[in-house]
């Protein structure tokens, strides 16, 4: 194992590492050369949290995506012309799969002409050298670092440098990305990047950014741990108004977005991801007139289901709020069962939009008491008692033990041990 793969195994979550190993096996079975590229390698080297896994294959990415979906992955969005797809893997990890390609732009914001290419050509066509690093996951070169533009040096200097003079002219969406990465990583732009950005902004190129790439960048922004500083910098750089002239300053619900970001951290600690992109976008533009929202949705080519999701969530949240203060959540067991099947977006809305003391108290109990208790179930002790892990009986015993715990029936270690033994005797294979 190379130093970079060893470093990665020590830095990513177990679920992310499982995805890495799984997609490596699938690509090998299809005889496709596979590489982990871009942000994952940048963040690995920079010591930043690794959120998304971006993979590139030499050849048709759709072939690999199709096989991944057969094994439980789900396509979130797809760009057929770019041979690229955003994917949620079976264990909830997010990532992307793309074809190694070159791009040629006829004018700012126009869809590029695409051609299949080698991994080196793919890395060289990217925006910034720090995003142009890859590690091979192919059997014959596994762990080989690819850095054709010396991006490692930029990361060491904590500097964002352009790959070439036309990065913003070719693709104005890179203006949004340059700001996002500068704020999130705490890097600085070199003089050339700053000058190219200023020229592109003065020329109004951001208004030319085409829909799908803008939507992709906004999806990335929605996944940020704290999007507020990034949004404020985008507002300062006059980029948000490129989405809609009214989207600036007081037309943005800064307080609401900050409240949502804070609540999302509690969800993240519980292994839940929210807000979804549709809910994030809804909160960002909630103060705009209806016609402006529709125009932006059209520009981003947002599917009808995504447009309607926020309204449905708000309706569902009102119903759930009533259940939370009533008999449906009147016992610890009922409360856990109610909230454990609630989508993360709904939990987020309850946390941020319903101030009733009972609702907030029960949400706090769920997150700070019940979920940690659930995570620390006596699985090891149960296995030592001879019950096979992964079986329905094993899970049934753990469930019964957990519900007895939150109902206050197991207050001492002695009570806990006796009850576990009793469950093993009562619940037969």
The DSSP secondary structure of 141-160, one letter per residue, reads GTT-EE-TT-HHHHHHHTEE
Q: What pLDDT sits at residue 260?
A: 93
Q: What is the pTM of this model?
A: 0.87
Distance, CA of 350 to CA of 367 (rounded, Å): 13
Q: What pLDDT sits at residue 332?
A: 97
Helix or strand run (H / E) with residue 232: helix 228-236
Question: Do 53 and 95 form a contact (C-beta atoms < 8 A)?
Answer: yes
**Domain 1-154: what homologous superfamily?**
Beta Polymerase, domain 2 (3.30.460.10)
Question: Do 112 and 131 form a contact (C-beta atoms < 8 A)?
Answer: no
Q: Three-state SS for 112? A: coil
Closest CA to 101 of 142, 60, 68, 138: 60
Per-residue pLDDT of the chain (429 residues; tens, 9 = 90+): 567 888 888 888 899 999 999 999 999 999 999 999 999 999 999 988 888 899 999 999 999 999 999 999 999 888 888 889 999 998 889 999 999 999 998 888 788 899 999 999 999 999 999 999 999 999 989 999 999 999 999 999 999 999 999 999 999 999 999 999 999 999 999 999 999 999 999 999 999 887 888 998 999 999 898 999 999 999 999 999 999 999 999 999 999 999 999 999 889 888 888 889 999 999 999 999 999 999 999 999 999 999 999 999 999 999 999 999 999 999 999 999 999 999 999 999 999 999 999 999 999 999 999 999 999 999 999 999 999 999 999 999 999 999 999 999 999 999 999 999 999 999 988
Distance, CA of 234 to CA of 253 (rounded, Å): 14
Please list the residue range(s) of the chain that carry CATH number 3.30.460.10: 1-154
DSSP 201-227: HHTTGGGG--HHHHHHHHHHHHTSS--
Q: In this structure, how many other beta carbons lie within 10 angstroms of the beta carbon of residue 313? A: 21
Q: What pLDDT sits at residue 2?
A: 66
Q: What pLDDT sits at residue 211?
A: 82
Encode 49-63: b = buried (16+ Cβ within 10 Å), e = exposed: ebbbbbbbbbbebbb
């Amino acid at each position: 194992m190379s130093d970079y793969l060893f470093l990665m195994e020590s830095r990513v979550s177990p679920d992310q590492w499982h995805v890495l190993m799984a997609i490596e096996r699938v690509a090998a079975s299809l005889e496709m050369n596979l590489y982990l590229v871009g942000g994952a390698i940048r963040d690995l080297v920079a010591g930043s949290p690794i959120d998304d896994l971006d993979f590139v294959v030499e050849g048709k990415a759709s072939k690999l995506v199709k096989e991944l979906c057969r094994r439980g992955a789900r396509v979130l969005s797809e760009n057929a012309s770019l041979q690229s797809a955003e994917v949620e893997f079976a264990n909830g990890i997010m990532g992307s799969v793309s074809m190694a390609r070159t791009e040629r732009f006829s004018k700012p914001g126009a869809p590029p002409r695409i051609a299949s290419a080698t991994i080196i050509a793919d890395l060289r066509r990217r925006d910034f050298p720090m995003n142009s690093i890859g590690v091979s996951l192919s059997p014959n070169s596994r762990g080989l670092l690819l850095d054709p533009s010396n991006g490692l040096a930029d990361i060491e200097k904590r500097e964002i440098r352009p790959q070439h003079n036309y990065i913003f002219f070719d693709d104005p969406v890179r203006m949004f990305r340059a700001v996002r990465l500068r704020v999130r990583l705490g890097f600085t732009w070199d003089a050339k990047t700053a000058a190219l950005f200023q020229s592109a902004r003065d020329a109004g190129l951001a208004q030319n950014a085409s829909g799908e790439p803008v939507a992709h960048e906004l999806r990335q922004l929605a996944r940020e741990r704290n999007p507020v500083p990034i949004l404020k910098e985008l507002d300062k750089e006059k980029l948000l108004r490129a989405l809609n002239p009214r989207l600036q300053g007081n037309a943005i619900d800064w307080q609401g977005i900050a409240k949502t970001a804070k609540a999302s951290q509690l969800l993240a600690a519980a292994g839940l991801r929210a807000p979804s992109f549709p809910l994030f976008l809804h909160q960002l533009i909630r103060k705009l007139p209806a016609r402006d929202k529709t125009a932006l949705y059209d520009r981003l080519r947002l599917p009808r289901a995504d447009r309607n999701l926020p309204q449905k969530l708000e309706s569902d949240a009102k119903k759930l709020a009533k259940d939370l203060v009533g008999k449906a959540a009147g016992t610890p067991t009922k409360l856990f069962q109610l909230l454990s099947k609630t989508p993360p977006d709904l939990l987020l809305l309850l946390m941020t939009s319903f101030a009733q003391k009972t609702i907030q108290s029960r949400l706090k109990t769920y997150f700070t008491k019940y979920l940690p208790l659930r995570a620390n179930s006596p699985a090891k002790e149960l296995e030592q008692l001879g019950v096979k892990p992964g079986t329905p009986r094993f899970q049934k015993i753990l469930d019964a033990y957990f519900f007895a715990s939150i109902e206050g029936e197991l207050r001492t270690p002695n009570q806990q041990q006796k009850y576990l033994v009793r469950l093993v005797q009562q619940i037969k294979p």
